[in-house]
Structure 1
Amino acid sequence: MFRNMRIGLRLTAGFAAVLLLLIVIGLVGIQQLNRVNGETAEIFHDRWPKTVQANEIIDNLNVISRALRNALLTDDASFRQAEWQRISDARKLIGERVEQLEKTSNTATGKNLLAKVKDATDAFLAGAERAMRMAQTDRNQAAEYLLKEMRAFNQAALQSATDLILYQERAMDQASQEAAAFVRQAERLILLLSVSALAVAAAMAFWITRSITRPLTEAVAAANALAGGDLGVRLQSRSRDEVGELLQAMNVMIERLSQTI
């Protein structure tokens, strides 16, 4: 079948095969880049912001703890009022960050850890509110409460937020490893396809060139023999392409010359 293909069709088939492999290489590269982009997007637009928000929760838990301590230690009413305001602002920010995390949590583990953060921070904030009320009437009692119950609330809230951060960090590490694996896979696939494209191109070039030059060499040899007066030359046409038609025409010419002479 291939021997009977026209030369132009052979060239077209060869170029088409190489072009197809180049297209496959491009599509594989694009697919792998999209997978890497998905992993990096998850890191920078999902995991990392959550660690920032959880760290802000920790920072503001510490702000509240320090403000409570400062308010209980001072006799300056205006300074104490400023500390109460700091506590109020920190409470608001903690609530906002927890709400943001609730909206973006998309895994069962993440939701479970966030629920623990919410419960622990709610308990801490409720304890802070109680300590503030105690401080209005008995600062010694409030100080004792701060050193005992509030200490436990604070540690639980900090630990829950830390656990959430560690989970997100592990998820980021896993995503980065998967992205690196996609890159290595893309390198192997592109290398394999590139070698395949090179092999196909070389094979097609050899086949097409051989299918044209071999019969042409026979035709040249026959023409030289005819020029030397040898009318017994016969050519074997193995194909029906342009070269095969040339060999058939030369055979007809030789037959007619033989009959004439």
Structure 2
Amino acid sequence: MSRVETRLAIITGAARGIGAATALRLAKEGFTVLAADLEDGAELQGVVAEMTAAGGNGLAVAGDVADPGLFPALFDRAESLCGGVDVLVNNAGIMVRKPIAEIDDMEFDRQIAVNLRGTFHGLREASQRMRKGGRIVSVSSSVAALRAENYGIYAATKVGIEAMTASLAKELRGRDITVNAVAPGATGTDLFLNGKSAEAIAAFARLAPLNRIGSPEEIAAVIAFITGPEGGWINGQTIHANGGVV
């Protein structure tokens, strides 16, 4: 099987990190990519330029996944461009790394709104409008299983994503649409690196038997496999891409 030029992927949180790496990877594999992020700024435009330079086709879209109107608008645009959506990657997310006792209501609500409700918005729209043979991938985190201190609310949102993933895979029975989650471990993204000392990063690296942190491109490769022709028998799963952290 080979990909065809009319296949379209929506990727949220595409301006940097895992989202940007996934957008570039799927664009190289022949997808038209709707690259969505909170702002259509220099970072997102840079990702689109990189996709174009690599011979792909990418378009930037600004929007907040917490807004229930974003995904209907993305699917509308996808249908006008390519007739529908073949891949959705729910990647947008934020993290407040604090003890639960120190997280205020605004910080709590925003993490829920972006990580959990934003992913729900994508899953809901995709469940109604994804084309036959489509692939839905949501980005979780290995922190959901580790239950690490200072990550309580963030981890709770990711546990919720994994639960919705397993449920939706069953709800789409007979539709030939797979629903999976990828749970990265420590990965060299701004979300992970910002606010951490070199010592803290090294400590995370030691958690993995491979003795390093991952790269956004390695996570993008896992997503590309799930959304590719060889990944069609993987469904309802959370794949831990973390170098062996248990």
> TM-score band, normalised by the shorter chain?
under 0.3
Q: TM-score, normalised by structure 1?
A: 0.22
Q: Compare the two structures and name the one with the higher strand fraction.
A: 2
Q: Which has the larger radius of gyration?
A: 1
Q: TM-score, normalised by structure 2?
A: 0.23
Q: Compare the two structures and name the one with the higher helix fraction.
A: 1
Larger relative contact order (Cα-Cα within 8 Å, sequence gap ≥ 6): 1
